[in-house]
Every structure is written in C-alpha cells, then in structure tokens.
C-alpha cells in the first residue's frame, strides 16, 4: 500500500472542541459497557439524563438541542475519555478526525483532512505529512475509508475503467494550469468530460446554459446548509429565488429581496476569497472527492458550484455578524459546506447527482 498525504494542508490540534460539537459519534457496545460505571459517564448522565442512545440499532453518544457537544467534552475543551483512559480508547470516529482517507483501485491510499477542523482551515501547525505515523497507525487499526471503484461511472449509464479516469485527470490538470479551476471545470462539464483524455468536444449550447445551472445549484445547495430543515421554509426560499416575495432566512437574520443579497455578494464578497476557494478545491481533488459523488460529472459539478455557495454563505455570515465580510465569515462558510455538503453528509452528493441528470438532458443524452 502506498500512502500519499496532502502535504499542502497543515494540522496541529488547537483543542477548540469543534470536532466534538454537532456530530453523531458512534461507538461500539463494548466501549459503552466499559464506560458506563465510570465517574466521567455518571457526570454526563447527571447533566443530560443519559450518556448514549441507540439510533436504528446503532449506539451513539447522546446529544440534544440543549447539549450539541459530546457529553465527554470537558470545560477545558478536552475529551474526558482521552484524559482518563487514553487516546486509544476513544471512539474510532474521534481518533480519525480530521483525517479523510480514500483508497484507490491501484492500491494507493490518499490522506487529506476535513475542513471542519479549525487548524486545517486556518493552516495552523506543521504540514499534514508530519502526521504520517498517526495515519499509518489508524490504517493498521482499520481506519474508515472512502473507496474509488475500479470501474468509475462518468455519468449515469456510462462507465470507464479507473485508468481512463487517470488520463482525464492528467488532461484536466493541464487545462487547470492554463485556465484556472473555473475554466477547466467549465470545459470538462461542457463536454461532459468526454473524451476523458481530451481534447474535450463541447456539446452544442451546453456552455451557454451553465450560468443558469449555476444559479439553480447555489439555491439548491443553500437549503441543506441551514440548521432549519423545515420544508415550508425551504419552499419559501425557492419561491423567493423564483421572484415571489422576500427571501427570509431566520438563522442568518436575513429578510430582504434576493436582489439585495446578490448586491451584498457582488459588492461585499466579490472575488476576495477566491484563493481560499481554489485551495479548498485542490484539497478535495487531492483526496479524490470528484470521484466520490456518485459519478464523475456530479463530482465536477460539486467542485464547479463551490464559489457560488461559499460566497453566498460568507455574505450571510457577515450579515449575521453585522460587519463587512471577513476571513472569519469565509472560514465559517467553509466549515458549513464541508460539514453539510462535501465530506460529512450525503446531501451534496444527492443534489449534484440530480443536477447531473439536468446537464445530460441539456445535452440531450438520456440519463
Ligand atoms: S468522545 Fe471525546 S473526542 Fe469523541 S466527541 Fe466525545 S469528547 Fe470529543
């Protein structure tokens, strides 16, 4: 097994507690059994009534709206299981965070890191390659991995061997150096990435339809990024983007026409965070995120749509915080997108798969 680590990322735990807040942390019955009589667990039960719960037959750390953090996170933002019993005893999910591991069909393993981690987003600490020993130890213990199949679906109904996809990646890299991420992605999408090794032949009229698709995608990707999954709220958001009524997003204290939000994005955010967006795209590309969204075209759509949703969320964060868009707002937007769309949820994958069908319909290909 050849392990490649994303050396352009940095990481060193700053004990912010982010990785212990807002997640589902699954654990084995044996660990729960070992923990159940210990004072660190009795403390959790005293605070929130229970330490664990079973969801669909699987055991997880108990959390509720009043207690979004894991019960074992103490006042010093340290894990009580780690502090009392040692790192090796923590649930596997916790030991693996923030490493994001992908196994490729040629036996190679790629290790990147989640942008939900404050240190990774802030480029704090040494290169991720310094974590090689920790990643190797996780692999020996059976780390959680995403897998790229030997046969890769390019778009629904069209499959190619992984070697052909490597030829696509080489051609894409050449285009990216020449045209930047946006230009290379538009070229690949306009041709539905075929022929994989290039040169790509754009489908008639497809590139002219991409701006409209981009708007639809931004609107669609916003909804799973919200904490409130109320269907009526989502319908009102759809209607506002279609020109019916004001756009209201309570968790961002936003209530104004969509045009005002467009203005805020254009004037306040503009291209200020484009370097950060491209760094994020590169990190996803390294960990082969473009091959993990169901099909290659869907993965490319996800990468292509990132500027729209990240600029929108940055503008909303800044609005909520009552200030001009700042680096902290962009960082929060990155955290939200990684958590809700890219690495830790299937919502983004399902949405871009749906959108890839629209793209096929535009190119008049049955999907
Ligand atoms: S078990 Fe420890 S490391 Fe895992 S989420 Fe809870 S406090 Fe964090």
Residue 129 domain flag: yes
Rounded distance from Cα 288 to ligand 1 centre (Å):
28
Does the beta carbon of 25 lie inside 6 Å of ligand 1? Answer: yes
Structure tokens at 105: 């069909």
Of 62, 63, 79, best ligand 1 pocket probe by most atoms within 8 Å of the beta carbon: 79
Q: What average pLDDT does this structure show over 303-318?
A: 97
Number of domains in the chain: 2
Backbone angles phi, psi at 32, to 5 degrees: -60, -40
Residue 354 domain flag: yes
If pLDDT is split at 50, 70 and 90, which confidence band does 304 have? very high
Give the end of a domain, one of 131, 147, 163. Answer: 147
If pLDDT is split at 50, 70 and 90, which confidence band does 124 have? very high
Does the beta carbon of 343 lie inside 6 Å of ligand 1? Answer: no
Of 75, 85, 90, best ligand 1 pocket probe by most atoms within 8 Å of the beta carbon: 90
- Residue 25 alpha carbon, nearest atom of ligand 1: 5
pLDDT of 102 higher than 70: yes
Residue 367 domain flag: no
Rounded distance from Cα 61 to ligand 1 centre (Å):
9
- Based on the domain organization, do 346 and 239 belong to the same domain? yes
247: Cα within 13 Å, side-chain hemisphere: 22
Give the end of a domain, one of 147, 168, 189. Answer: 147
- Based on the domain organization, do 11 and 38 belong to the same domain? yes
Rounded distance from Cα 108 to ligand 1 centre (Å):
30
Rounded distance from Cα 35 to ligand 1 centre (Å):
13
- Residue 27 alpha carbon, nearest atom of ligand 1: 1
pLDDT of 71 higher than 90: yes
If pLDDT is split at 50, 70 and 90, which confidence band does 285 have? very high
Over the chain, what is the mean pLDDT? 94
pLDDT of 243 higher than 90: no
Does the beta carbon of 20 lie inside 6 Å of ligand 1? Answer: yes
If pLDDT is split at 50, 70 and 90, which confidence band does 65 have? confident
Rounded distance from Cα 63 to ligand 1 centre (Å):
12
| Secondary structure (DSSP) of 55-72 | ETTEEEE--BTTB-B-TT
Rounded distance from Cα 81 to ligand 1 centre (Å):
7
- Collect all residues with Cβ–Cβ distance below 8 Å to 355 and sequence separation of at least 6: 213, 216, 217, 220, 298, 301
189: Cα within 13 Å, side-chain hemisphere: 30
pLDDT of 1 higher than 90: no
Does the beta carbon of 70 lie inside 6 Å of ligand 1? Answer: yes
pLDDT of 99 higher than 90: yes
If pLDDT is split at 50, 70 and 90, which confidence band does 140 have? very high
pLDDT for residue 310? 98
- Based on the domain organization, do 33 and 94 belong to the same domain? yes
Give the end of a domain, one of 91, 116, 147. Answer: 147
Rounded distance from Cα 17 to ligand 1 centre (Å):
9
Which residue, by CA, sits nearest to atom 2 of ligand 1? 79
- Based on the domain organization, do 181 and 61 belong to the same domain? no
pLDDT for residue 367? 60
Q: How far is residue 207's CA from residue 209's CA, in Å, rounded to a whole number?
A: 5
Structure tokens at 198: 């290039």
pLDDT of 366 higher than 80: no
29: Cα within 13 Å, side-chain hemisphere: 4
- Based on the domain organization, do 139 and 179 belong to the same domain? no
- Based on the domain organization, do 46 and 173 belong to the same domain? no
Render pLDDT for 211-228 as a digit per residue (tens, 0 to 9). Answer: 889 988 998 999 999 988
Of 18, 20, 47, best ligand 1 pocket probe by most atoms within 8 Å of the beta carbon: 20
- Based on the domain organization, do 159 and 305 belong to the same domain? yes
Does the beta carbon of 73 lie inside 6 Å of ligand 1? Answer: yes
Does the beta carbon of 94 lie inside 6 Å of ligand 1? Answer: yes
Rounded distance from Cα 158 to ligand 1 centre (Å):
42
Residue 140 domain flag: yes
Does the beta carbon of 342 lie inside 6 Å of ligand 1? Answer: no
Q: What is the DSSP letter of 250?
A: G
| Residue span of the structural domain in which 201 resides | 152-362
pLDDT for residue 117? 96
Task: Please state which of the ranges 137-146, 236-245, 271-280, 296-305 shows the lowest mean pLDDT.
Answer: 236-245
- Based on the domain organization, do 161 and 253 belong to the same domain? yes
- Based on the domain organization, do 47 and 93 belong to the same domain? yes
pLDDT of 175 higher than 70: yes
Render pLDDT for 245-279 as a digit per residue (tens, 0 to 9). Answer: 899 999 999 999 999 999 999 999 999 999 999 99
Distances (CA, A) of 310 to 188, 246, 313, 329: 21, 21, 5, 10
Rounded distance from Cα 329 to ligand 1 centre (Å):
26
Q: What average pLDDT does this structure show over 26-48?
A: 95
- Based on the domain organization, do 90 and 223 belong to the same domain? no
Rounded distance from Cα 93 to ligand 1 centre (Å):
9
- Based on the domain organization, do 134 and 59 belong to the same domain? yes
């Amino acid at each position: 097994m050849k392990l490649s680590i994303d050396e352009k990322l940095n990481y060193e735990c700053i004990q912010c507690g982010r990785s212990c807040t807002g997640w589902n942390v699954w654990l084995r019955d044996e660990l729960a059994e070992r923990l159940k009589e210990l004072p660190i667990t009795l403390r959790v039960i005293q605070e929130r009534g229970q330490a664990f719960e079973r969801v669909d037959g699987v055991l997880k750390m108990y959390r509720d709206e009043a207690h979004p953090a894991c019960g074992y996170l103490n006042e010093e933002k340290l894990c009580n299981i780690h502090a009392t019993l040692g790192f090796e005893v923590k649930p596997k999910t916790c030991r693996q965070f923030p490493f994001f591991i992908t196994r490729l069909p040629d036996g190679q393993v790629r290790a990147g890191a989640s942008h939900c981690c404050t240190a990774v987003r802030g480029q704090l600490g040494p290169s991720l390659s310094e974590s090689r020993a920790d990643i190797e130890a996780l692999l020996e213990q059976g780390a959680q991995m995403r897998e790229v199949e030997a046969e890769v679906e390019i778009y629904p109904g069209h499959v190619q061997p992984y070697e052909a996809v490597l030829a696509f990646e080489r051609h894409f890299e050449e285009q990216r150096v020449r045209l930047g991420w946006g230009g290379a992605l538009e070229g690949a999408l306009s041709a539905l990435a075929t022929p994989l090794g290039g040169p790509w032949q754009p489908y008639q009229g497809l590139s002219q339809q991409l701006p409209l698709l981009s708007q639809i995608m931004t609107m669609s990707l916003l909804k799973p990024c919200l904490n409130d999954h109320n269907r009526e709220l989502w319908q009102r958001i759809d209607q506002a983007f279609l020109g019916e009524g004001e756009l209201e997003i309570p968790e961002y204290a936003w209530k104004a026409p969509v045009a005002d939000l467009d203005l805020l994005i254009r004037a306040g955010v503009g291209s200020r965070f484009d370097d950060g967006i491209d760094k994020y795209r590169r990190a996803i590309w390294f960990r082969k995120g473009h091959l993990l969204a169901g099909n290659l075209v869907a993965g490319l759509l996800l990468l292509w749509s990132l500027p729209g949703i990240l600029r929108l969320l940055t503008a909303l964060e800044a609005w909520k915080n009552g200030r001009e868009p700042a680096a902290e707002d962009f960082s929060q937007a990155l955290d939200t997108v990684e958590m809700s769309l890219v690495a830790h949820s299937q919502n983004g994958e399902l949405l871009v798969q749906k959108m890839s069908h629209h793209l096929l319909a535009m190119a008049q290909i049955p999907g």
